[in-house]
Structure 1
Amino acid sequence: MQITFLGHAGFVVETAGAIVVMDPWLSSKGAFDSAWMQLPRNHHLAPLVREKLETPGKERFLYISHEHKDHFDPEFLATVQRRDFTVLVPKFHRSELQDVFAKYGCKRIIACEDAREVPIKGGYIKLFVSEQGTNRDSAVMVRGDNQCFLNLNDCKLHDRMVRIVSEEGPIDVFSAQFSGAIWHPTCYEYPSETYAAISLKKRDSKFEAVARALEQVEPRAYIAAAGPACFLDPTQFHLNFEKVNIFPNATQLFEFMKKRLPQAATRYLEPMPGDVLDVKTLEFVSLVPERVTPENMGQYLRDYAAMQEHVFRERRRNLLRAEVDEIHERLRVELQRKLDLLDLHERVGMPLYVELTELPERLLRVDFKGRRVDVVPEIRETVRYTMKASAADIVRVLDRKLNWEDFLLSFRLRLSRNPDVYEPVLHGFLGVEIEDMREFCEGIRSTEAQRERTQVEVGGKRFSIQRFCPHQGADMSGGWVEEGRYLVCPRHRWQFDMQDGGRCTQNNSSLCAEPVPERESSDKAEKSASAATDVRART
């Protein structure tokens, strides 16, 4: 088995029987309205990937993990001429990927349920699918030539890793996201000290999740992939040079791992786009000459930005006042349509204020309990959530050139909230498409309906808790303990304070923790052991 790294989360895996191209993100315009660019740049690999997909001989597969545009690159895929290969996509409730490829003209499409195997000569490809409401992702495993590669990319399967390894056997090479990919705290208006503290906590939490996955998988090698993009828009270029943010590089990850897992035998690899790894020997059989290092990163980014300057020059547009007024009204209608379908609106106890930067005197006030969107001259409440963006950026969402989540990931907005507490329904209202709003609400209800309980040990005491995280249903029996009191969700790393009834430190959700009397603890622990592994404190 050989693995060619394509940059970001992209790979070409070649065995004696098949070629599998995974998440090729190669467009020179990047992703999320050109806000994210591949780091290191990899656009020059497009001809190589086309050749792999178009050349007959071995059976060929294209795997797309989910819809995010740093994984699903329609612009590049449109350049592939010969399409007699098989497309593998996860089978989500929303059939967007299947629908796109049904029109693409490929040999066949296989929409895979969770844990479905697709046989290849001498092995198989297997997809692991994760879907909670509108949060959709998947991971992929290729086994062939007596070797195995497990690529988690962004998929948060950390609460399933023990079971996957026990069922699938040894894994030679493992890859999983180690960098942030969210707009918090990047887009929030925090004091610099608060911003740095939040970023550091989130970064270390992400590193810890990778460390625990490595402890469970015990691969021979870990490839640092699905790492940070870079930000070459002149208005965002400073993000590349922040001392602390949620976009660490592989060097920082490896330093953490050497301290966290000093006895681990796993090799840590940071390939450049185009490097080819032989899985049997764990040696690179081909290395590209261009190497990006912490020492040359600054100049590399400045040169890269100069190369891409035309992309941002072309997207600039000055709007007339009449156009801004029209966009403002279209946005009001869009928000009202969303609100009409949000049947969990009663849970949001604060208004949302949306400001177009060109019209600061005409704010849109979303009243969730009243189910109204009104135009007001100023912010009235201390307790509120705010979003600011330009009409030129918002109109691209209204024109369906990108969806709401893509817009949020573009970082071309500013947010604030008081109190500084994550509100899942309001968060979903912002990021979910109109047609997905009912499914989003049903997903929350479905997660909340899971009442199974289990026992965990925290701080030397046993607690009975709801087994599944109230956020997106992760199995809390796969979590870990921090500071002797906080049970941490293995999927999104929310902390639940066992000394406060299992209440989440980020919002008002709870695991409804109850101390187990000592006389009952041993009996119940034995019964729950078959359903879940006890959580142990981190050393």
Structure 2
Amino acid sequence: MRITFLGHAGFAVECAGSVVVMDPWLSPRGAFDSAWMQLPRNHHLAPRVRELLETPGRERYLYVSHEHKDHFDPEFLASLRTRDFTVVIPRFQRSELQDIFARYGCKRVIACEDGREVPIKGGYIKLFVSEQGTNRDSAIMVRGDGQCFVNLNDCKLHDRLARISEEEGPIDLFTAQFSGAIWHPTCYEYTPEAYAAISLKKRESKFEAVARALEVVKPRAYLASAGPACFLDPALFALNLEKVNIFPNATTLFRFLEQRLPGAHTRFLEPMPGDVLDAASLEYVSLDGERLTEEGFESYLRDYAADMAHLFRERRRNMLRAEVDEIHGRLRVELQRKLDLLDLHERVGMPLYVQLTELPERLLRVDFKGRRVDEVAEIRETTRYTMKVSAADMVRVLDRKLTWEDFLLSFRLRLSRFPDVYEPILHGFLGVEIEDMRAFCEGVRSTESQRERTVVTVGNRRFSVQRFCPHQGADLSEGWVEEGRYLVCPRHRWQFDLEDGGRCAMNGSTLCAESVSDKPVAPVTVEEPLAL
């Protein structure tokens, strides 16, 4: 087995008689309306990937893990002329990927349920599918030539890794996301001190999740991938140079892992786009000529930004007041349509204020309990959520050039909330498409209906708790305890205070934790982590 790193979360896995190309993100326009760009740049690999997918003589597979545009690159895929390969995708409730590839014109499309195997010459591909709330993702395993490669990418399967390892046997090479990919706290109006503290906590939480995955999987090598993109839009460029944020590099991760996992037999590898690794020997067959180092990071970025400056000049244009007024009206209609379909609206205890930056005196106030959207001149409440966005960026969502989630991931907005707690229904209201709103509400209810309980042992104390996380249903029996009292969800690292009835301070949800006496139960012992 040979593995070529394609940059970001992309790989080409070559076995005897087969090649599997995973999540090739190669477009020179980046993703999320060019807000995210590949780091290091990898556009020069597009001809090589085309050759892998277009050259006959062996079985060829294209795997796309999910819809996020740093994994699913329509522009690059449209450039493939010969499409006599097989597309392997996860089967989600939302049929967007299936619909797109049904029109794509490839040899065949295999939409896989969770755990489905796809035979290839000398081995097989297996997909692990996860879909909770607004999150849809998948991971892939390729077994061939006596080697096994698992690419978790962004997929939150940490609570299932023990079972996967037990069922599938030894995993030689493993990769999983280690860097943040969300708009909190990036787009929120915090003080610099609060921003740094939140970022550091999130970073360490993500690193701890990787460390625990490696403890479970015990691979021969971990490949750093799905790491940070870079932000070359002049309005976003400063994010690259922040001392502390949720976008650490692989070197920072490796320093953490070396302290967190002393004596581990796993090798930590940071390939550059174009590097080819032999899976058996863990030696590089070839190395790409362009290398990114910590020392040359800022100059590399500035040169990269200069080369891509035309993308952002093309985005700029002045809008007439009449255009802005029209966009304001369309946005109000859009928000009302979303609200009409949000069956869980009464759970949102604060209004949402949406402001087009060109019209600061004409706010849109979303009243969830009253189920109406009104225009107001100012913010009335202290308890509220706010979003500020330019009309030029908002119209791309209204014109369906971006999904709501793609827009949020563009980071071209400012958000604030008071109190500073996560409100999952409001979060879903913003990120979910209109046609998916009812399914989102049904998913929340389905997660909440899971009432199975288990027992967590901490030292000489035992607590009965709900087994499944109320957020998105992760199995908390695979979690861990921090500071002797906080049960941590393995999927999103939410902390539930066992000393406070299992309450999560992030948003007040609870596991209904109760102290229990020694009576016959099936306990789940959760170990304390090593000191961070």
TM-score by length of 1: 0.98
**Structure 2 residue 16 is matched with structure 1 residue 16:** yes
Q: Which residue of 2 aligns with 1:413?
A: 413
| Matched residue SS, 1:265 | coil
Alpha carbons 1:386, 1:417 under 8 Å: kept:
yes
Contact 1:458–1:498 under 8 Å retained in 2: no
Query: Which residue does the alignment assign to 1:498?
Result: 498
Q: Map residues 271-420 of structure 1 onto 2, 5 A cutoff.
A: 271-420=271-420
Q: Which residue of structure 2 lines up, in the alignment, with residue 179 of structure 1? A: 179
Give matches, 1:453-464, under 5 Å. 453-464=453-464
1:240 equivalent in structure 2: 240
Partner residue, 1:537: 528
Does structure 2 retain, via aligned residues, the 8 Å contact 1:134–1:439? no
- How far apart, CA to CA, are the structure 2 residues paired with 1:64 and 1:23? 5
Q: Which residue in the other structure is 1:169 paired with?
A: 169
Residue 516 (structure 2) aligns with: 516
1:40-119 equivalent positions in 2, closer than 5 A: 40-119=40-119
Secondary structure of the 2:201 match is helix
Matched to 2:126, the amino acid is: K
Q: Distance in 1 between matches of 2:423 and 2:305?
A: 36
Quote the offset at 1:17 in angstroms. Answer: 2.5
- TM-score, normalised with respect to structure 2: 0.99
Contact 1:134 1:436 in 2 (8 A): no
Q: Is the CA contact (8 Å cut-off) linking 2:458 and 2:525 kept in structure 1?
A: no
| 1:228 is the counterpart of 2:219 | no
Q: Tell me, in whole angstroms, the C-alpha distance in 1 between the residues paired with 2:234 and 2:289.
A: 28
SS at match of 1:251: helix
Partner SS, residue 193 of structure 1:
helix
Question: 1:196-235 to 2 correspondence within 5 Å?
Answer: 196-235=196-235
**Are the aligned partners of 1:454 and 1:467 in contact in 2 as well (CA < 8 Å)?**
yes
**Residue of structure 1 in register with 2:263 after alignment:** 263
SS in 2 for 1:503: coil
- Secondary structure of 1:388's counterpart equals strand
CA distance in 1, matches of 2:483, 2:358: 47
Match of 1:467 in 2: 467
- The amino acid of 1:165's aligned partner reads S
Letter in 2 for 1:484: G
**1:301 CA drift (Å):** 0.1
- Mapped partners of 1:458, 1:492: distance in 2: 21
1:338 aligned counterpart, secondary structure: helix
* Residue in structure 2 matched with residue 249 of structure 1 by the alignment: 249
In 2, Cα distance between the equivalents of 1:418 and 1:294? 38
**How far apart are 1:134 and its partner, in Å?**
3.1
Give CA deviations for 1:382-401 in whole Å, capped at 9, x if unaligned: 01000000000000000000
SS at match of 1:83: coil
Partner secondary structure for residue 456 of structure 1: strand
Matched residue, 2:193? 193
Partner SS for 1:301: helix
Deviation at 1:493, TM superposition (A): 0.3
> SS of the residue aligned with 1:203?
helix
- 1:306 positional shift: 0.2
Letter of the aligned partner of 1:535 in structure 2? V
User: Are the counterparts in 1 of residues 178 and 206 from structure 2 also a CA contact under 8 Å?
Assistant: yes
Aligned residue for 1:124, secondary structure, equals strand
Which residue is 1:452 aligned to?
452
Q: What is the aligned partner in structure 1 of residue 143 from structure 2?
A: 143
**Post-superposition shift, 1:122?**
1.2
Partner deviation per Cα, 1:168-212 (whole Å, 9 max, x = no partner): 000110000000000000000000000000000000000000000
CA deviation profile, 1:306-356 (whole Å, cap 9, x unmatched): 000000001111100000000000000000000000010000111000000
* Secondary structure of residue in 1 paired with 2:253: helix
In 1, the alpha carbon distance for the partners of 2:94 and 2:315 equals 31
The answer on whether the counterparts of 1:385 and 1:416 sit within 8 Å (CA) in structure 2 is: yes
AA partner of residue 411 (structure 2): F
Task: Give the C-alpha shift of residue 133 in structure 1.
Answer: 2.9
2:425 partner SS: helix
The Cα of 1:537 is off from its aligned counterpart by 1.3
Q: Mean alpha-carbon deviation: is it higher for 453-462 or for 228-237?
A: 453-462
Instruction: Please give the secondary structure, in 1, of the residue aligned with 2:525.
Output: coil
Q: Does structure 2 conserve the Cα–Cα contact (< 8 Å) formed by 1:90 and 1:127? A: yes
1:459 offset after TM fit, Å? 4.5
- How much does 1:503 deviate? 0.3
8 Å CA contact 2:134, 2:431 repeated in 1: no
Gaps of 5+ in 1: none
CA distance in 1, matches of 2:404, 2:459: 42
Amino acid at match of 1:276: V
One-letter amino acid matched to 1:183: W
On the 8 A contact 2:504/2:510 being kept in 1, the answer is yes
> What is the CA–CA distance in structure 2 between the aligned matches of 1:260 and 1:407, rounded to whole Å?
36
CA distance in 2, matches of 1:349, 1:131: 26
Could you tell me how far apart the structure 1 residues matched to 2:158 and 2:459 are? 23
- Work out whether residues 141 and 148 of structure 1, in 8 Å CA contact, stay in contact via their aligned partners in 2: yes
Deviation of the 1:505 alpha carbon: 1.9
CA distance in 2: counterparts of 1:368 and 1:236, whole angstroms: 32
The CA distance in 2 between the partners of 1:248 and 1:383, in whole Å, is 33
Counterparts of 1:154 and 1:188 in 2: how far apart (Å)? 22
* Aligned counterpart, 2:485: 485
SS at match of 1:152: strand
Rounded to whole Å, the distance in 1 between the matches of 2:236 and 2:438 is: 34
Quote the Cα distance in structure 2 between the aligned partners of 1:93 and 1:236: 34
Runs of 4+, deviation exceeding 3 Å: none
Return the letter of the residue paired with 1:465. V
Q: Tell me how far apart the structure 1 counterparts of residues 208 and 130 of structure 2 sit (CA, whole Å).
A: 21
Q: Distance in 1 between matches of 2:226 and 2:510?
A: 31
SS at match of 1:239: helix
Map Cα deviations across residues 361-408 of structure 1 (whole Å, 9 max, x no partner). Answer: 000000000011000000010010000000000000000000000000
CA contact (8 A) 2:158 2:491 kept: yes
Cα distance between partner residues in 2 of 1:322 and 1:44? 43
AA matched with 2:208: E
Distance in 2 of aligned mates of 1:218 and 1:505: 33
Return the alpha-carbon distance in structure 2 between the equivalents of residues 375 and 458 of structure 1.
52
TM-aligned CA deviation for residue 460 of structure 1: 3.2
Letter in 2 for 1:271: P
Between the aligned partners of 2:310 and 2:409, the Cα distance in structure 1 is 21
| Corresponding position of 2:156 | 156
Cα distance between partner residues in 2 of 1:70 and 1:249: 17
Write the letter of the residue equivalent to 1:405: E
Q: CA deviation at 1:290?
A: 1.1
Deviation track 1:253-276 (CA, whole Å, cap 9, x = no partner) reads: 000000000110100000000000
Counterpart-to-counterpart distance in 2, 1:491 and 1:406: 22
Contact 1:276-1:284 at 8 Å conserved across structures: yes
